[in-house]
Amino acid sequence: MRQICLVRHGETDWNAMGKIQGRTDISLNATGRRQAEECAQYFSNSEWDRIVTSPLKRAKQTASILNQSLQIPVIEMEDFVERCYGDAEGLTRVERQRLYPKGKNISNQEPRNLLAQRVMKGMQRIQEEYPNEKIILVAHGGVINTILAVLSNGEIGSGKTKLINACISNLHFMENQWNIQEYNQVHHLSQYNEYRGERNE
């Protein structure tokens, strides 16, 4: 059984302000670094073979903090860079709703179908290049929600699941397909220790 643990990067100042980030390369803030440290503590009690990360700073910084105790190979993969939100990047939710009602007509935004193709190509690459390994994949809300949406046939994920910064979602490869075991788990984060996330059963 192969396993991939999806980790959303820690919080940034833009996350805290409700600004959409996309490809804009924003660093973790103090809360995000603490979240990553709590993730690292969670993973320190288990064995992993490799970390795959998006090349954007907030993901790479999260991966680096995770790896301080794990000391395993870290691989950057462009397939898992966040969705490009075009002209909406840098806008708050209120600003987006005013300028782009229902999220429509945003110029230069990456289409959802192309995002899904790119991200699932990355999943296939992991499966082919690192067979039988346990992988931690550090990525973004849009990317992880796309994976969850594809694997659940749209029951969860994009448009339905609000992923919390530094949340964990576990995938197992069984019977020639990826299965979602649990998603949006945050019990390892002190600020959400009453929140148990959701299981896909």
Give me the amino acid identity at 142. G
Q: Pick left, alpha or beta for residue 105 (phi over 0 → left; psi -120 to 50 → alpha; otherwise beta).
A: left
Q: What are the tokens at 6?
A: 């999806």
18 vs 29: CA distance, rounded Å: 14
Tell me the catalytic residues: 9, 82
Residue 138 CB partners (closer than 8 Å, separation 6+): 7, 8, 9, 51, 52, 53, 54, 59, 60, 62, 63, 66
CB atoms within 10 A of CB 72: 17
**Is residue 11 a contact partner of residue 165, using CB atoms and an 8 Å limit?**
yes
88 vs 109: CA distance, rounded Å: 8
